[in-house]
């Protein structure tokens, strides 16, 4: 069956399914099985997986054996299976690395949904359709199997259980990861997402999965999690100590890149389909409510910091000097926080200009608060510290309203229309690729 419906007339969520139905000869799902020296288990794995897909999967599928530099008979076994079964193909790489194998095969696949699973088939295959269904429909961008979900049923030793949970705890605490299981060898991704995401993933080994998920999550892509039934493979050849060491190095590298803004995540920021956060609410300027909430939160924290600094500086300086120093320090922090949290500006581009503009806004606030202090001194002479604070709070409220208006209109003007134009351009490029 083939559809000639123009891409531009289809809702964004239907693009993927239309591509699946309309692409001549391209199966909807490509399941990659990365292997290294698996001559004993490969045939059993492929036959079992093929049988399951043939019985349960409602669309066309392909199984790709990605052999990364095996030194035993694995290439011959893979080639024989590919010759006997039409839905199976083999791919040989001359370098080791599960991440390298997945990147290579996924980058060359013509299927709209790409998945992978470990050759030991530790994960119950009944979770495969729930894994890829949200990707086929276009609801989600990536999908992962989770052994740590509450409804998962897992059989494995206490040592591996501890390592897995400790690793995911490290990811949550160091990289603010919200997905529950980075290491489960049971994942899927939409091809159009992979085309943008994979070039940013540096790792070629076991950390590949984690890096891909962290970048996707930080970019705002939607990750679907499926609880799985999982039975540990006692004959696994994974070297736990070396893998753990490499993973920790990867966590440090990715964390440093995220902290310095070195990763161009804006390329991934909601480029696929419509986002309700881009829709206007009748009677309310676009994004105003969310920005007001973020600005108020940042403002409250900045005010507390400002008052604490003023009280500290006031111990050794006059009120004007203490006010100027406290306002300057809190203003720099306020501009940085509003830039990232309130107005969603990421990366280092334009940061210096934003801080310079923020200092202009700071000068206006300084004039308001300093003027208030001067007026207080003229009116009442030596005022008490509590009176000074009360006057400063009132002056800061007025300065805050003006600061928000200047931030919104001048320092961080709404460029979402530019983002929408960019997303339309990205969608046009994807259609040309197809």
Report the pLDDT value the prediction gives residue 239, as an integer from 0 to 100.
Answer: 62
CA-CA distance, 361 to 330, in Å (whole number)? Answer: 12
pTM of the prediction? Answer: 0.61
Averaged pLDDT for residues 366-378:
77
Give the lowest-confidence range in 14-28, 54-68, 122-136, 220-234.
Answer: 14-28
Averaged pLDDT for residues 400-427:
63
Give the lowest-confidence range in 115-129, 151-165, 225-239.
Answer: 225-239
Averaged pLDDT for residues 136-148:
93
- Give tens-digit pLDDT for 201-226: 999 998 999 999 999 998 889 999 99
The rounded percent of the chain whose pLDDT value lies above 90 is 36
Closest to 145 (Cα-Cα) out of 185, 107, 189: 185
Q: What mean pLDDT value characterizes the chain?
A: 81
Report the pLDDT value the prediction gives residue 407, as an integer from 0 to 100.
Answer: 83
- Give tens-digit pLDDT for 71-91: 999 999 999 999 999 999 999
Angle at alpha carbon of residue 249, lines to 165 and 224, rounded to 5°: 45
353 vs 59, more confident:
59
**Per-residue pLDDT band at 434 (split at 50, 70, 90):** very low
Contact 91, 104 (CB under 8 A): yes
Averaged pLDDT for residues 225-251:
79
Distances (CA, A) of 19 to 6, 11, 49, 224, 425: 11, 13, 24, 21, 18
pLDDT over threshold 90, residue 417: no
6 vs 257, more confident:
257
Report the pLDDT value the prediction gives residue 235, as an integer from 0 to 100.
Answer: 61
Report the pLDDT value the prediction gives residue 236, as an integer from 0 to 100.
Answer: 59
Q: Quick check: helix, strand or coil at residue 269?
A: coil
Distances (CA, A) of 69 to 31, 148, 392, 418: 19, 32, 69, 45
Catalytic residues: 209
Closest to 31 (Cα-Cα) out of 224, 146, 185: 185
């Amino acid at each position: 069956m083939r559809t000639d419906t123009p891409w531009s007339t289809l809702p964004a969520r239907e693009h993927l399914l239309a591509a699946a139905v309309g692409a001549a000869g391209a199966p909807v799902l490509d399941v990659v099985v990365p292997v290294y020296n698996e001559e004993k288990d490969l045939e059993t794995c492929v036959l079992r997986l093929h049988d399951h897909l043939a019985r349960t999967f409602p669309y066309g599928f392909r199984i790709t054996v990605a052999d990364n530099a095996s030194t035993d008979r694995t290439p011959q076994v893979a080639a024989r299976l590919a010759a006997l079964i039409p839905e199976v193909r083999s791919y040989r790489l001359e370098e080791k690395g599960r991440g390298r194998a997945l990147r290579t095969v996924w980058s060359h696949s013509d299927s709209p949904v790409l998945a992978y699973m470990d050759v030991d088939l530790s994960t119950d295959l009944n979770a495969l359709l729930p894994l890829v269904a949200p990707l086929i429909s276009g609801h989600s961008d990536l999908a992962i199997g989770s052994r740590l979900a509450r409804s998962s049923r897992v059989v494995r030793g206490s040592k591996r259980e501890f390592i897995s949970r400790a690793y995911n705890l490290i990811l949550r605490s160091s990289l603010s990861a919200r997905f529950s299981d980075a290491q489960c060898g049971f994942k899927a991704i939409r091809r159009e997402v992979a085309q943008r995401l994979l070039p940013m993933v540096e790792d070629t080994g076991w950390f590949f999965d984690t890096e891909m998920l962290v970048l996707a999550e930080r970019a705002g892509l939607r990750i679907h999690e499926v609880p799985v039934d999982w039975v540990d493979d006692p004959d696994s050849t994974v070297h736990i100590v070396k893998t753990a060491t490499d993973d920790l190095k990867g966590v440090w590298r990715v964390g440093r890149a995220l902290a310095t803004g070195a990763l161009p995540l804006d390329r991934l920021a909601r480029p696929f389909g419509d986002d309700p956060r881009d829709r206007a609410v009748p009677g309310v300027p676009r994004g105003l409510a969310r920005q007001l909430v973020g600005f108020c939160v940042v403002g409250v924290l900045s005010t507390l910091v400002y008052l604490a600094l003023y009280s500290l500086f006031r111990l050794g300086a006059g009120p004007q000097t203490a006010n100027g120093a406290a306002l300057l320090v809190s203003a720099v922090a306020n501009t940085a926080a509003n830039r990232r949290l309130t107005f969603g500006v990421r990366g280092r581009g334009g940061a210096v200009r934003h801080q310079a503009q923020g200092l202009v806004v700071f000068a206006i606030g300084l004039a308001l608060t300093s003027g208030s202090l001067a007026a207080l001194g003229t009116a009442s002479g030596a005022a008490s510290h509590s009176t000074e604070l009360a006057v400063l709070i009132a002056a800061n409220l007025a300065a805050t309203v003006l600061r928000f208006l200047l931030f919104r209109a001048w320092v961080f003007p709404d460029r979402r229309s530019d983002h929408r134009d960019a997303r339309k351009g990205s969608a046009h490029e994807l259609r040309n690729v197809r």
